[in-house]
Amino acid sequence: MLICPQCEFSNPESNKFCSRCGTSLIEKKCHECGTVVPFDTVNCHNCNAVTGTVRWAIVAAQLVPGEREEQKREDTAPSNSNHLTNISPESDFSGTVENPSVTGDEDPAPTTRPAEEDDDYLDPQHRYQLISPLRVTDESATESEAMVLDRQPLQISLLSALERQSSEEDSIPLDAGIPKMAQIYWQLQSHLYEGVLPKIYDAWISDSQEVVLLEDRSDWQLLADWWGDEPLPLDRMLFVLDSLVELWEILDAFASRQSLLVLSNLVLDDDLVLGFKRIYWEPENSQITLPDLGKLWEKLFEQSQETQDGTLPILTEQLASGKIDTTEQLRSRLRAIASDDEMDEDPPFSNTGWDSDSDLDTQPPRMPSAPTRLQTNPQPQTTSQAMDDMPTVVLPMQLFSLEDAGLTDTGRQRERNEDAFCIHTQIERFETKMGRTIHAMGLYILCDGMGGHAGGEVASALAVDTLRNYFQAHWIQPPEMQAQLPTVDLLREAVLEANQAIYDLNQQQGRTGSGRMGTTLVLVLIQDTNVAVSHVGDSRLYKFTRKQGLSQVTRDHDVAQREIQRGVAPEIAYSRPDAYQLTQALGPRNSDFIKPDIQFLDINEDLLLILSSDGLTDNDLVEQYANTHLEPLIGSRASLERGVNDLIDLANEYNGHDNITTVLIRAKVRPNLGSFRE
């Protein structure tokens, strides 16, 4: 089975092109020069850029924790009874044994070398080809690492197949041939923000060895390098340190705190999100204690370009010397520093990666779903007792950036475009020595008109103009930025005013029946981290977050949805011939018949909002392509302008029967240091 890299459709192995979208299943374009190269090559033949699908492999003896100490007294080299017996220890293992510890020494990154016909493979199926030597990573010589090339990157992996067969999330049985060291990644994934852990692509047990293939993060920026690049404001340091404390608490319950103590294991992605290269297990008789975290902090401060004065270095010394007994006490001290009188203004509080001269946005390394509460409840069958006493940290969010883009297209079958949209933002940016923050107001309107020749175009444009003028007078003005969003009454009044404007025009022109013009409406107002939504009709608002994925915010005002609300089964409701007939629209009837849906949302994590007319939403197109067309747009470096173009192209390819309009809004937030103040 071949998984299409574009639409994720499952294709027969004989296919050269995706049966759904036509994407090539044998070639791709080089990301550097655009040359077409086979999927299974390591380097582009034109520019030599790495184009192959490279994974980071961890190979370990299959030992339960209690057996590890016994193994240390046995052979100091991996057994020759496994399927890697043809690999020469002299040529494929480095002579250096690394002990991952708090020293912070960096792992030497393996050098990618061209694959050759006689290169060795990690698996009997000859899918994963070694492109760097296996390198021993622990004192007992029971674990090694290497870079491998996936020669069949579109082929579904054993791990993916097992995940698909599993009916419940994280429920793959332990006896399914999956390494125990892979289980910890699944257990941790539900307690950490997406991106903290590397993705697992495959895992198996063969000849008493465990093999796990992870996302290769060897080219990610090291936290230590970033920390030392330039002087950092106090708030940035405080949040990194607080993040490390919380990760310490989580990893403690999973016997994985060693992952935090290897300084070269802490990295930042392109969006400057803190993460790990991998997870390290602690030995059964581990002597890791809280002062070890203090020693890591000391290593970070050694990287700093500025001599640190004040209480933070004192706190670090006390932590490293064992004078602080608990993480709760440590957090209390961090809060005290954050609320020091020297910080005479509320600073922007963010995760790793603040650069006042850069457009890069940030988010915390792990984010709650809602509200702004960092929950860290573990797998109940393994670690619930250990986690019961862990503190819960409440961190209100503040807006760090607000970006948007919109586009409308006539489509492939219509002669006129009856859609309309509006984007109106007002943003105030504040730059201080403490960093950057913003206050923002955003008004976003999308309308899909109807009503025959010239009717739909007029109705949608009139609705947009009426709503824009209303909020200009009642919300955006006066110039001082308002403290809160409009009330429910103001939102309803605005929608009814737009309805009345179209209704009056219908009456003046003597329009009757299906000739009466009207329009749908999706209205979004953003005030910092608060969002108000109102809608009428079947145009939709979706939201997408890394934590929760895609969800539909609005509910269509059509006959089928009305029947479902009355208790009719969805399959029966949508079998009606009038299932998609609108039950509400602006304009055809007077305001007594209009009941706009109004709701309020809080932005608790980085968020992508998608306003769309039915030219895009028909046939569940948004749901089907969320992973390929929406998820990448969460990252701050992704272009929203390109994103809306790609969505229009997608709709034209698979729908195209109607006008297409979409508006994208990307809001990025970070915790507010002011929440630490007493």
Query: Quick one: average pLDDT of 148-157?
Result: 88
How far is residue 386 from each of residues 291, 374, 664, measured CA to CA in Å? 20, 17, 42
Domains of the chain with bracketed CATH:
53-215 (no CATH), 221-395 (no CATH), 398-671 (3.60.40.10)
Q: How far is C-alpha 130 from the geometric centre of its chain's CA atoms?
A: 30
The helix (run of H) or strand (run of E) holding residue 550 is strand 549-552
Question: Are 16 and 89 in contact, with CB atoms under 8 Å apart?
Answer: no
Higher per-residue confidence, 276 vs 92: 276
**Stretch 449-462: mean pLDDT:** 86
Cβ contacts of 183 within 8 Å, gap of 6 or more: 174
Mean residue pLDDT of the chain comes to 78
Residue 106 has pLDDT above 80, yes or no: no
Where does the pLDDT of residue 355 fall: very low under 50, low under 70, confident under 90, or very high at 90 and above?
very low
Least confident of 369-378, 505-514, 605-614: 369-378
For residue 341, the one-letter residue type is: D
Residue 338 has pLDDT above 70, yes or no: yes
Determine what percent of the chain is predicted with pLDDT higher than 70. 75
- Using only C-alpha atoms, the chain has a radius of gyration, in whole angstroms, of 28
Burial class for 410, CB neighbours closer than 10 Å (0-12, 13-18, 19+): middle
> Would you state the pLDDT for residue 285?
79
Residue type, 91: S
Secondary structure element (H or E) that encloses residue 210, with its range = strand 209-215
Host H or E run for residue 397: strand 397-409
**pLDDT (tens digit per residue) in 186-225:** 888 778 776 789 988 899 888 778 899 999 998 888 999 8
User: For residue 542, what pLDDT is reported?
Assistant: 98
Query: Does residue 478 have a cis bond before it (omega within 30 degrees)?
Result: yes
Q: Which of residues 309 and 40 earns the better pLDDT score?
A: 40
Average pLDDT score over residue span 617-627: 92
Long-range contacts from 451-455, C-beta under 8 angstroms, 24+ separation: 451/511, 451/514, 451/515, 451/516, 451/517, 451/518, 451/587, 452/514, 452/515, 452/517, 455/418, 455/511, 455/515, 455/516, 455/517
Q: How confident is the model at residue 4 (pLDDT cuts 50, 70, 90)?
A: confident
User: Does residue 507 have a pLDDT over 90?
Assistant: yes
Residue 34 burial class via C-beta count within 10 angstroms: exposed 0-12, middle 13-18, buried 19 and up: exposed
In tens, the pLDDT along 540-584 reads 999 999 888 999 999 999 999 999 999 999 999 999 999 999 999
Q: What digits encode the pLDDT tens for the residues 244-267?
A: 998 999 999 889 999 999 999 999
Per-residue confidence (pLDDT) for residue 100, from 0 to 100 = 43
Confidence band for 460, pLDDT divided at 50, 70 and 90: very high
Return the pLDDT at 462.
Answer: 97
CA distance 578 to 559: 7
Residue 370 pLDDT > 60: no
Helix (H) or strand (E) holding 653: helix 640-654
Residue 590 has pLDDT above 80, yes or no: yes
